[in-house]
Amino acid sequence: MAARQIGKYISILNRQAQRYLHDVVSKYGIGYSSYFFVMYIGANPKCSQREMCESIVIDEAMATREMRKLLKSGYIVRQRRAGDAKTYEISLSESGKELYEKLKEKLLEWWGTLSAESGVDPELLTEQLGAMARVAHEKLIEHKMEGNG
């Protein structure tokens, strides 16, 4: 019975976090989808778009649209990777770094409040959800390799 509820609760938490973060990011002229990219680039400067998409499991076409928006907004900079003329390195601009710090602060505030008020140990929960995410990723790869996807 509990296993059936996991997806439900993860979905609820995701939607609530999405609503909260949408309100936060809209103040900076970006959409909720851009949030993931800003956070990833902030933690992984000079990443390529492909590396980012593989890591956060996001479609490259969507990433391309969001990169254009972030570039136009002045939050990211791109430059060719040394020794690889086909690959761009993506980093945050100074305003992007400021945005990253503000978003990180708001995100920590959100999850900190939820964990504190619910009595959940954030370290343990992070470990458990991380383990589930890794297994889910492995199972998805296995599924695709079996010709099911």
Backbone angles phi, psi at 99, to 5 degrees: -60, -45
Q: Please count the helices (runs of H) and the strands (runs of E) in the chain.
A: 6, 2
pLDDT digits (tens, 9 = 90+) for 106-142: 989 998 999 999 999 989 988 998 998 889 888 888 8
pLDDT digits (tens, 9 = 90+) for 50-107: 999 988 888 899 999 999 999 999 999 999 988 888 899 999 999 999 999 999 999 8
How far is C-alpha 124 from the chain's CA centre?
Answer: 20
* The predicted structure's pLDDT at residue 147: 78
Q: DSSP E strands: which ranges in 1-121?
A: 76-81, 84-92
Using only the alpha carbons of the chain, give its radius of gyration: 17
